[in-house]
């Protein structure tokens, strides 16, 4: 009995194979359910936003609403940068009815790209939507719509237009395809100009197509603010034209002109060569797009001598009439020879500067000492950035005294063994002109909101006092003597007192060992009227050995610029006087109060542009338009480019159209046009120009009116011409 009970209990404690299978199945189901629950919790809690976005993407379409980028004006409210309407072409791949090859073959001729490039773009871009071309002329929209390709989307956008082409291009910069600033003030003030984009959220149907009437959400864009620069378009054009003239006259490979107000630090013009057209920035090299006035450091040569003279006067080491023996042109110091271009025996301190004696300057510097020369250079702003609101500024090179050699004091006193940018040097001379105050250069003055309210841009004007007013006056007198009797006589203008200094410097070799015998920097910096300076002009030319002397190249260029500035200034004063006479009221400064509210417009060059773009430009300038003839392009305009106009005035446009009959065109007449305008017109007609000379077109082959085939070569002969960018009659003073 006991044995039987014991056997039953053992049997009951052992799990059968069926029971084990059931248990494992139950555990497996529980584990699977647990995994499902954990996964659901993970999706619901941790990845909720991800799946919401995926769902939203399937049933809604978000269309961006682009904010209008702010306009850029010069100091007289002439538009330097504007916006014009354009379209962007995109493709929603989900709605395609055909292959990428078929789409590419039909779209390529209209979009102006190769079929292979377009096919690869459709295939390579991940995602369901791809931009095919951005910011194209609005006329293309009709041709694309006529193709009737499912999935193609046309978006209305705006693009930047630079109506004055190369004028002020290095200051302004340009934007990329997404309207983001890349260089110049477009980059520096990008956040202010760009505003904030908005969007519309629209529901899709079951096939993924947008249903425009089902708007889920709309956020309005906030337009960018506009910017008023300190530059004067007319002065900028004068600087550009005369710099180009100097480049050709003196075989210079590059150059810079800076014009500023030494009393305020406002930059009135900043021109560089080589230059570029920001409307086609991608076609130019980085060399052409670089703003050399702030990005390039160079040894200033004799223009730096004012630092040693300022230190000597400020420390009462010398007076203007103290004599210095100049060794008859050759002086040996620590085994090295220092030479003057002309031999001099005894010279007064003021004549050492006037005749730019290296020997006299070095002797004075040796007496001055390292510390006082270095301290004065730092006070003048050398070795640190000016703080101008332009990207890419170099601080230059001013080594600490601990790194000087036994010869550095002598070298630096005459502008060697250090480097500065052009704007730094201009601001140093501005400190002398304004009585001893170093100012921060200013490129932008006001911001204009979408409501048209103006807000001044605040900034710290004074960096600090460099020299006393007495020292500044003594230096000013010495610089006047330099122009009237010394090396700067080529800058002299009868009836105008000018203070200035010439400079000639060799280019250091790339390896830092010695100087080039073929590359030189010729410069001249001056300000006028010397008693109460209103303008400061600096000319710098990177030229060859034959044209190395600043007194023979940069100084005459300075003179031509000043002559035009004076004529422009007189025209403005006459205009103000006439306005005052008519209205009979003046403000506390003797100027007609209403004149300050007079927003004149400088008419841009509209020729060879498409009519739709020209309409947008003129609307933006608040000018009326009258079209004569037929066609899609502007042949001529009245008034001429550069004319100053008032809002509401009318611009007459003569139109033309490009009509090919059996492959032939009527040869346009480009004689009498500026070369750039002629090239633009020939390009529109599909003709290939061969250019001889530069300036104004005087002859062409084939003759105007003759029947020619598209793509043929056209010979264009030119000769230089001096052109003033204003309707006011302005001439050189004899």
d(CA 300, CA 415): 5
Q: Is 387 exposed, middle or buried (0-12, 13-18, 19+ CB in 10 A)?
A: middle
Helix (H) or strand (E) holding 644, with range, is strand 644-645
Those residues with Cβ within 8 angstroms of residue 587's Cβ, 6 or more apart along the chain or in another chain: 593, 596
Those residues with Cβ within 8 angstroms of residue 717's Cβ, 6 or more apart along the chain or in another chain: 692, 693, 697, 698, 699, 700
Residue 521, CA distances (Å) to 26, 251, 259, 483, 508 in order = 92, 12, 19, 19, 10
Per the annotation, the verdict on 516 as an active-site residue is: no
d(CA 559, CA 732): 10
Q: Which residues pair with 298 in a beta bridge?
A: 420
Closest CA to 474 of 599, 318, 347: 318
Closest CA to 613 of 69, 135, 47, 59: 135
Q: Is 725 exposed, middle or buried (0-12, 13-18, 19+ CB in 10 A)?
A: buried
DSSP string, 263-310: TT-BEEEEEEES---GGGGGGS-HHHH--HHHH--B--GGGGHHHHHH
Contact 447, 228 (CB under 8 A): yes
Stated length of the chain: 734
Q: Which of 100, 226, 254, 302 is catalytic?
A: 302
Contact 439, 461 (CB under 8 A): yes
DSSP string, 184-229: HHHHHTHHHHH-B-EEEEEEE-TTS-EEEEEEEEEE--BPPPEEEE
b/e sequence 18-41, b meaning 16+ C-beta within 10 Å: eeeeeeeeeeeeeeeeeeeeeeee
d(CA 578, CA 71): 31
d(CA 533, CA 523): 20
* Catalytic residue set: 302
């Amino acid at each position: 009995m006991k044995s039987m009970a014991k056997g039953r209990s053992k049997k009951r404690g052992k799990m059968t194979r069926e029971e084990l299978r059931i248990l494992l199945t139950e555990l497996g189901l529980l584990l699977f359910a647990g995994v499902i629950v954990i996964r659901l919790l993970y999706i619901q809690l941790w990845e909720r936003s991800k799946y919401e976005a995926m769902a939203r993407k399937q049933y809604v379409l978000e269309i961006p609403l682009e904010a209008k980028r702010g306009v850029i004006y010069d100091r007289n409210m002439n538009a330097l940068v504007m916006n014009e309407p354009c379209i962007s072409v995109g493709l929603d791949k989900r709605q395609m009815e055909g292959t990428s090859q078929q789409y590419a073959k039909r779209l390529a001729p209209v979009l102006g790209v190769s079929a292979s490039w377009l096919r690869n773009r459709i295939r390579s871009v991940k995602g369901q939507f791809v931009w095919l071309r951005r910011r194209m002329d609005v006329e293309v929209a009709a041709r694309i719509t006529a193709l009737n390709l499912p999935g193609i989307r046309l978006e209305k956008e705006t693009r930047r237009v630079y109506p004055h082409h190369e004028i002020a291009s290095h200051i302004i910069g340009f934007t990329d395809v997404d309207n983001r600033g890349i260089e110049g003030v477009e980059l520096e003030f990008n956040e202010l100009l760009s505003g904030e984009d908005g969007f519309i959220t629209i529901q899709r149907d079951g096939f993924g197509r947008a249903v425009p009437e089902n708007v889920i959400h709309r956020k309005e864009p906030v337009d960018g603010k506009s910017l008023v620069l300190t530059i004067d378009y007319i002065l900028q054009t004068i600087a550009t034209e005369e710099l180009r003239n100097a480049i050709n006259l003196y075989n210079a490979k590059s150059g810079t002109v800076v014009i500023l107000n030494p009393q305020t630090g406002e930059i009135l013009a900043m021109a560089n060569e080589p230059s570029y057209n920001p409307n086609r920035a991608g076609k130019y090299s980085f060399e052409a797009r670089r703003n050399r006035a702030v990005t390039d450091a160079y040894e200033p040569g004799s223009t730096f001598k004012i630092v040693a003279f300022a230190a000597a006067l400020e420390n009462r080491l010398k007076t203007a009439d103290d004599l210095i023996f100049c060794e008859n042109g050759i002086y040996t110091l620590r085994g090295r020879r220092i030479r003057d271009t002309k031999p001099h025996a005894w010279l007064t301190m003021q004549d050492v500067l006037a005749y730019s004696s290296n020997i006299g300057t070095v002797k004075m510097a040796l007496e001055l000492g390292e510390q006082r020369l270095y301290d004065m250079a730092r006070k003048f702003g050398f070795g640190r950035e000016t703080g101008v609101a332009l990207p890419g500024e170099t601080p230059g090179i001013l080594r600490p005294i601990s790194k000087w050699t036994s010869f550095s004091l002598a070298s630096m006193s005459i502008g060697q063994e250090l480097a500065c940018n052009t704007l730094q040097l201009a601001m140093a001379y501005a400190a002398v002109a304004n009585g001893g105050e170093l100012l921060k250069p200013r490129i932008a003055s006001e911001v204009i909101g979408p409501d048209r309210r103006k807000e001044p841009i605040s900034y710290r004007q004074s960096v600090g006092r460099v020299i006393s007013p007495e020292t500044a006056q003594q230096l000013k007198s010495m610089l006047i003597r330099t122009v009237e009797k010394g090396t700067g006589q080529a800058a002299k203008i009868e009836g105008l007192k000018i203070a200035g200094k010439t400079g000639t410097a060799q280019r250091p070799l790339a390896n830092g060992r010695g100087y080039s015998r073929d590359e030189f920097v010729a410069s001249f910096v001056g300000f006028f009227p010397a008693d109460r300076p209103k303008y400061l002009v600096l000319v710098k030319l990177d030229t060859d050995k034959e044209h190395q002397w600043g007194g023979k190249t940069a100084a005459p260029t300075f003179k031509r610029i000043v002559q035009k500035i004076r004529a422009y200034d007189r025209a403005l004063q006459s205009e103000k006087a006439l306005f005052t006479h008519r209205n009979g009221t003046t403000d506390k400064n003797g100027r007609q109060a209403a004149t300050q509210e007079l927003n004149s417009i400088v008419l841009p060059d509209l020729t060879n542009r498409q009519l739709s773009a020209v309409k947008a430009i003129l609307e933006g300038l608040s000018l009326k338009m009258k079209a004569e003839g037929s066609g899609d392009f502007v042949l001529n305009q009245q008034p001429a480019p550069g004319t100053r106009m008032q809002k509401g005035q009318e611009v007459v446009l003569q139109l033309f159209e490009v009509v090919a009959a059996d492959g032939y065109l009527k040869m346009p007449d480009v004689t009498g046009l500026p070369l750039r305008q002629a090239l633009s017109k020939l390009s529109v007609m599909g003709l290939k120009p061969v250019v001889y000379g530069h300036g104004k077109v005087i002859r062409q082959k084939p003759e105007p009116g003759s029947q020619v085939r598209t793509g043929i070569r056209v010979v264009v002969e030119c000769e230089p011409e001096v052109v003033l960018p204003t309707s006011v009659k302005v001439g050189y003073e004899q």
